[in-house]
Amino acid sequence: MGKRGGGLLVAGTTSDAGKSVVTAGICRWLVRKGVKVAPFKAQNMSLNSYVTREGAEIGRAQAMQAAAARVEPSALMNPVLLKPGGDRSSQVVLMGKPVGELSARGYHQGRQEQLFGTVTECLEELRRTHDAVICEGAGSPAEINLRRTDIVNMGIARAARLPVVIVGDIDRGGVFASFFGTTALLSPEDQELVAGYLVNKFRGDVSLLEPGLEMLRGLTGRATVGVLPFAHGLGIDEEDGLRVSLRGAVRESVVAPPLGRDVLRVAVCAVPLMSNFTDVDALAAEPGVIVRFVDRPEELADADLAVVPGTRGTVRALAWLRERGLADALARRAAEGRPVLGVCGGFQALGERIEDEVESKAGTVEGLGLLPVRVRFAVEKTLARPVGEALGERVEGYEIHHGVAEVLGGEPFLDGCRVGSVWGTHWHGSLESDGFRRAFLREVARAAGRDFVPAPDTSFAALREEQLDRLGDLIEEHADTDALLRLIEKGAPVGVPFIPPGAP
φ, ψ (nearest 5 deg) of residue 222: -130, 140
Please say if 344 is a catalytic residue: yes
Closest CA to 8 of 28, 37, 32: 37
Neighbouring CB atoms inside 10 A of 301's CB total 13
Under DSSP, the state recorded for 147 is G
Neighbouring CB atoms inside 10 A of 483's CB total 17
State how far the Cα of 38 lies from the Cα of 231, in Å rounded to an integer: 24
Please say if 428 is a catalytic residue: yes
The tally of CA atoms less than 13 A away on the side-chain side of residue 89 is 10
Whether residue 192 contacts residue 503, with contact meaning beta carbons closer than 8 Å, is answered with no
State how far the Cα of 307 lies from the Cα of 280, in Å rounded to an integer: 9
State how far the Cα of 387 lies from the Cα of 444, in Å rounded to an integer: 22
Whether residue 389 contacts residue 415, with contact meaning beta carbons closer than 8 Å, is answered with no
State how far the Cα of 293 lies from the Cα of 279, in Å rounded to an integer: 13
Single out the catalytic residue among 130, 402, 428, 478.
428
3-state SS assignment for residue 419: strand
State how far the Cα of 448 lies from the Cα of 440, in Å rounded to an integer: 12
Strands 387-390 and 393-396: antiparallel
What does the chain come to in residues? Answer: 504
φ, ψ (nearest 5 deg) of residue 122: -65, -45
Whether residue 195 contacts residue 167, with contact meaning beta carbons closer than 8 Å, is answered with no
The DSSP string of 196-230 is EEEEEEE-S-HHHHHHHHHHHHHHHS-EEEEEEEP
Closest CA to 306 of 324, 333, 287, 286: 333
Closest CA to 488 of 70, 195, 128, 192: 195
Single out the catalytic residue among 27, 122, 269, 344.
344
Torsion of CA 311, 315, 320, 321, to 10 degrees: 80
Amino acid residing at 272: P
Q: Which positions are annotated as active-site residues?
A: 344, 428
